[in-house]
Structure 1
């Protein structure tokens, strides 16, 4: 039997993409809005699911990549060889403890122990090449199937699956010591068989010529509790039409898959990010029946359990430089395109994020299309990010929409965002823009970082320029670069003032006290930045007049624009000037990095 699975709602879309990652288009046909699920593929799904998890989230591959970074650093900085070897040993030791717990008597466990001892002996710069050699040996040892499978399954259950599904089925702690085959068997029992039975029942309802066939099917499969519950009332009916009428009027349909009846409810163990407790969600219950918050079928539950294959997983830092937390997010892309294209774009997005691309880099990279094509995709893209913690009953969910003007901007200038060198601020900037929020506050925070580390003044300047271009695009202005020269001029005025102030300070105190000149400039920058953040134009201009007088320079008329409705806005003027004031060197910003 074949049944259509619609990917309109994102948990089901993620599941459909996940299934498509495991099966070819011939095995799982794509439709305009989802996939055609054939009950024949269910015979292999349990094994493909578990084997797929082991392959995609391999702990050994991840650890080798992580440790190789330290090996490469040891080549570049041989004087720190001992330090980098210690970091590699720390990672290897974590996995050795797990191998020892489950496979202490094996030869592989002993070899890992020997590697730890060898890493401990690395101390001299000339021994740096041994780090790579020992990492490769670890990769060979840990890639042994029984080790890799155990380490990966326990990792993926704790880090990837548990936040989405709690402790259902294979996610119970007792399964940490069970074999790969036992995991496959449990998935078969908990997810595959119920889905198969419900598809068979739907097919029987369609093909049966009389009620006796339906009753015989339910009798044969009454070990499945939902069928046992149906058997008693259906036995009292007289014909097939009455059965269909009973199922239509007395049994709720699946909320996600058309044509199937509901056999369970959509609660926390089904899909934690958007689910709720039966006892606490009265407003969401059907007819205020606490037993059925949202009715679904076993097929819908199975599809949603495939969601981890349909999403990209990555770390995302929330907060600022002073206080922040890092969470593991899952992300995906939705559009109004044919679902086959949605699948391809999500697989590309997963690949980009897996290679270390940031949120902004992955999306801009995905949308590297011609200008004409970019105009055609207007209003079609949605980006979703979700963090879920089943234990804390906490979900953070962000939706981002690609508006027309932003698609237009990305088509021309998407790559210029790479010039925002600070990864977290670049992503925050892009997320704000996608939400339609003016990113000025992010630029102000970026400038505060740049005061402490002048290297980031360049990035803050480019953020200022790109913000203005985006605001121009939002207004429908065709030439988004029409203020670039003015921004450049304001920036260089900041550079000129810095040079004058530093020159004066050096003349007064001599070369050895140059640092105190920077301290004075930093104080001025903080004062200007506080005024800019508060929207205090008068306070900002008062400081501008004072420092120009101190440097013996005239105040350019451009600063008067900050008091006008037309022209360069106050936030752009203040940000560009501060970036120039605190930067390390003058840089040419008239040139562009475009997508063309």
Structure 2
């Protein structure tokens, strides 16, 4: 009898995608042949022979040991700072970071293998003798030896195991099963056995039980139950089931049909997650999926009639434990610089109302872009490059979910992005405008704001102030963002095409007038006045003080003996262009330098 797993809610689908990724890893890097287990993918489900699960605990660990390979990660880090140390003025800073990386790893190695630790510690001490940039060749040789140590199987396996367990315990499953810290000192084989007992054995056992009943093998069933009841390794829920079958049916010489009716009857609740299989005592709780978990014992008042029971079958338990494999790690580096990196680390999934193959393909494509500043933005651009009708429909049917959860503090920040029709149409029509922003972090922030349905004027204001404060950056990117904001408004309000083209040119004209004033001040030795004027204009725009903005604008034009363009009268009426759009376009031009001017000219050509 084959097991079928149907697509459902996003987090369950994430588990199915994760299950497939784990199998794919075995196909690509080991010798697994899914055809041997009748594995098939239909439109809305996958199915397979239960025998596929007999080695799944090994597949599971193999996948995560490969995904979070710490020897590979640490080698990349060491190479990064080795290359940085070769640059002028970066040697001392880089060698310090290298020593910190080695020291942190040595502390872990010491707990694994004392002999290897002795060699690693010798390398650390030798790093202390590297004082000058002329010793780069010595540094390279030491790091080559150290990377060999990190790649030793017993060292890399244990460090990686602890790493991926820490990630999944904190973000996905809490302290259940082998994720519990009490199992940290156990070997990887022992931890695999714990997973097999908790997640796989109950499924295989139930499938074999059903087979013996269907094939009328009463003798085999009695022998199985007798052995299981005397085996301490038997899972608790299966042990309880066998005990009841033994006392209520086998000892009373009842038929296999009656046992079958008992298993499929009202004594066992239907799983509330899949609605396909019976729960043999398991219930959904904190350890199944931390981001959407609830402590039922402490939250009875949240349940109807205080009934906290949420039956969960063992197949769904296994699928949920694969959800971490279905998620993509993303780092939101553009978030507040003062924010700790752990709050910038998210897990994401793209859910779609489509076939399983398309869902899997989309998330694989998304996963390949995870090192980009905003991988979801890259995925959107891939989709809009397809035929117009299909891409708009696809974007509207996407549910993008990202979360940062912390089991220890019981805190989870989760963002859902459901793309409205007007945003889908905007991306299809104006994706090239978004892509024209050169600052990748700023571009990622703008896309984030759009998907979160936030007004991007706040990000534009912040970016303009950042350029002013640091005297670094490309203000023309801010002008591009103003154009994006305008076209979002157009998509939402359905403004006619001719009007949009006219207003687009007006925004460019306003930007160029700001640039002209910049040239005037620069030419006449008044460059130091630009920042104070820009801040005054930004403050007026932020507080929606049109009078203050116009007064400043008129004054600086009169001082420069320049005519105030009539287009600025739109500030008072806001008939076509919004106040912020005019203000931000003008300030972007005002604080632009020669490089930005060249950039704007290139964009026009």
Q: 1:488 to 1:321 in 2, by over 3 A?
A: farther
Counterpart contact for 2:406–2:412, Cα < 8 Å: yes
Residue 186 of structure 1: CA displacement?
1.6
2:287 counterpart (256, 261, 269): 269
User: What do residues 64-119 of structure 1 show as CA deviations (whole Å, max 9, x unaligned)?
Assistant: 112222222233x144323322222211221111112221123xx33322332333
1:5 counterpart residue number: 5
Q: 1:86 maps to which residue?
A: 96
CA distance in 2, matches of 1:337, 1:161: 31
The yes-or-no answer on 1:279 pairing with 2:287 is: no
**From 507, 519, 531, the counterpart of 1:499:** 519
Aligned counterpart in structure 1 of residue 332 of structure 2, from 311, 316, 320: 316
**Does residue 1:176 correspond to 2:184, yes or no?**
yes
Q: Distance in 2 between matches of 1:123 and 1:365?
A: 48
| Structure 1 pair 23–321 and aligned structure 2 pair: CA distance change class (3 A) | closer
Name the CA shift for 1:33/1:136 in 2 (closer, same or farther; >3 Å). farther
Name stretches of at least 5 consecutive residues in structure 1 with no aligned partner: 507-516
The 1:33–1:460 alpha-carbon spacing in structure 2 relative to 1, beyond 3 Å, is same
Instruction: Indicate if the aligned counterparts of 2:456 and 2:485 stay in contact, CA closer than 8 A.
Output: yes
- For 2:590, the equivalent position in structure 1 comes to 581
Q: Which residue of 1 aligns with 2:320?
A: 304
Q: Tell me by how many angstroms 1:59 deviates.
A: 0.9
Whether 2:484 is the aligned partner of 1:486: answer no
The answer on 1:29 being equivalent to 2:40 is yes
Displacement of 1:556: 1.0
Query: Is the alpha carbon distance of 1:112 and 1:230 closer, same or farther for their aligned partners in structure 2, counting shifts above 3 Å?
Result: closer
For 1:71-150, what aligned pairs fall within 5 Å after superposition? 71-75=82-86, 77-106=87-116, 109-150=117-158
Q: Counterparts of 1:113-262 in structure 2 under 5 Å?
A: 113-201=121-209, 207=214, 221=228, 223-230=234-241, 240=257, 244=261, 247-262=264-279
Given the alignment of the two structures, is residue 545 of structure 1 paired with residue 563 of structure 2, yes or no? no
- Of the structure 1 ranges 169-178 and 388-397, higher mean CA displacement relative to structure 2 is found in 169-178
TM-score (norm 2): 0.86
Alignment-derived partner of residue 538 in structure 2: 529
Whole-angstrom distance in 1 between the partners of 2:476 and 2:144: 40
Most deviating of 217-226 and 496-505: 217-226
CA distance in 2, matches of 1:273, 1:71: 38
Supply the distance in 2 between the matched residues of 1:145 and 1:591 (Cα, whole angstroms): 53
For 1:364 and 1:128, the matched residues in 2 are separated by: 44
CA distance in 1, matches of 2:207, 2:159: 35
CA distance in 1, matches of 2:240, 2:15: 29
Aligned-partner Cα distance in 1 for 2:184–2:248: 46
* Secondary structure of 2:46's aligned partner: strand
Alignment of 1:557-568 (within 5 A): 557-568=566-577
Taking the aligned partners of 1:310 and 1:182, their CA distance within structure 2 comes to 25
Change over 3 Å in CA distance of 1:283–1:201 after alignment to 2:
farther
Q: Which residue of 2 aligns with 1:512?
A: none
Distance 2:531 2:77 in 1: 38
Q: Which residue of 2 aligns with 1:394?
A: 411
* Aligned twin of 2:62: 51
Gap change, CA 1:37 and 1:256, over 3 Å in 2: farther
Please say if residues 353 and 398 of structure 2, whose CA atoms lie closer than 8 Å, have aligned partners that are also in contact: yes
Does structure 1 residue 16 correspond to structure 2 residue 12? Answer: no
CA drift of 1:497 comes to 1.7
* Distance change (3 Å), C-alpha of 1:65 and 1:576: same
In 2, Cα distance between the equivalents of 1:579 and 1:218? 77
Query: How far 1:464 sits from its partner (Å)?
Result: 1.4
**Correspondent of 1:62 among 49, 73, 85:** 73
What are the residue-to-residue correspondences of 1:353-432 with 2, within 5 Å?
A: 353=370, 355-364=371-380, 366-367=382-383, 369-372=385-388, 373-432=390-449
Cα distance change on mapping 1:228 and 1:154 into 2, 3 Å: closer
Q: Distance in 1 between matches of 2:515 and 2:604?
A: 23
For each residue in 1:246-280, what CA deviation from the matched residue of structure 2 results, as whole angstroms up to 9, or x when unmatched? 85444321122332112211111121111111212
Question: Mean Cα displacement is larger for which, 246-255 or 236-245?
Answer: 236-245
